[in-house]
Structure 1
């Protein structure tokens, strides 16, 4: 067989080197693309983080709007934020203020409850945590919640959590605890457990309990948040409990 000429050998060598260079460039580009993709993934917040940011911002907005001269302080969840409606002005605390003729300060944070931090799992934002950070200096405190405990929290632990919270409020003249309605989004047995726990804790502390479980609160299509009529009904029940 005839041997290759030096020219042919040079061409082969040159072609091989060119292929290797392209392979190196391609590998480098692939690494760069993967690296950029990883950066985007790291920078892009997860859905849970976004949900936490949203409910936190809504809470901050409510706190910023609070009147320093408020006669009533509220600790609540998305019900007090007016989720699914036009916002806080459509929520029960704003309606309550109109019914009793007094300003109401709201610390409302969606997805949270007596035993759950909801979307912000790992943060100190349960009702007890928030109360420990900022004890209301009002004559009336309304604590509303329980639906999130039935869906995201520990129903069996609600009674103890509520008992501890009420102990922290022992110097407040009037405390009202508002339980959850029978929300289709939660297991009924879980809602019943939460309702019983809140009732026992509230009555044990000599405070006022407003049950919503049999109050026929109209709900939105999501099966958990009140309609405008539902929010109005909640406000009326609380106002009645306060002896408006």
Structure 2
């Protein structure tokens, strides 16, 4: 049975709403709601800026949470999308939304933007889309509903030439069974859609003392795995 998580609220990165400026999702208000995690999301958005993280070819869009922004590890330039772009010589734009996932909608109450909502509002213009599994679905979301939501997201991306789905790593802040449920659901959704899947549960993804976010080394390992998956599907 699906259940709403009421545990630790994970402030995973940067909150954007529908509407792209320079390839990066931007907030459409001048000031954030008076909610502490929302303020943190806005600050992360300001740190990122409007430009792609890297330039080159192909054009890669990353749909994710704060992992895509390198939150707590040093910022966007050390996040796995930036490292990925540097490894592949590609242009990378980040559609990162703090506190969201397949079943979670972020911390700014006036701008809920779960993965499916963002895609419906403005599909990414890219040759490659990386869809990042979110630990938010384990800590504050509904793990049992991730599969159905992932199916819908991948259906929305059916015209994108290359899509890579990335799983969730082991983090101390989440229940292992919930992480495994999400991993199984994302793997099945990717297989059903004929897309590549990058599992992280059995990888050595180093996590910071905040019990949620990858270290610089953890971000680099994720980038390495995603780059390998993209290389085998193009």
Post-superposition offset of 1:48: 7.1
Please tell me whether residue 202 in structure 1 is matched to residue 207 in structure 2. Answer: no
| 3-state SS in 1 of match to 2:73 | coil
Task: Note if 1:51 corresponds to 2:40.
Answer: no
Matched, 1:81 2:69: yes
Cα RMSD, aligned residues only: 2.3
For the 8 Å contact 1:58–1:109, the answer to whether it is kept is: no
- Determine whether 1:224 maps to 2:212: yes
Structure 1: which 5+ residue stretches go unaligned? 1-44
Q: Distance in 2 between matches of 1:98 and 1:68?
A: 9
Q: Which residue of 2 aligns with 1:94?
A: 82
Number of paired residues?
A: 200
Task: Give the conservation status (yes or no) of the 8 Å contact 1:59–1:108.
Answer: no
> Residues 1-244 of structure 1 correspond to what in structure 2 (within 5 A)?
49-59=35-45, 62=48, 64-66=50-52, 71-121=59-109, 123-243=111-231
Asked if structure 2 preserves the Cα contact closer than 8 Å seen for 1:77 and 1:109, the reply is yes
Distance 2:179 2:57 in 1: 35
Once the two structures are superposed, what CA deviation does each residue of 1:120-166 show, in whole Å capped at 9, x if it has no partner? 35633111111111111111000112211000100000000000000
TM-score (norm 2): 0.79
Q: Deviations over 1:94-143 (max 9, x none)?
A: 00001101110001122110100132356331111111111111110001
Runs of 5+ consecutive residues of structure 2 not aligned to the other structure: 1-30
| C-alpha contact (below 8 Å) 2:151/2:189 kept by paired residues | yes
Higher helix share: 1
Larger radius of gyration: 1
Q: Check the 8 A contact 1:99/1:239 in 2, yes or no.
A: yes
Work out which structure has the larger RCO, using CA pairs closer than 8 Å and 6 or more positions apart in sequence: 2
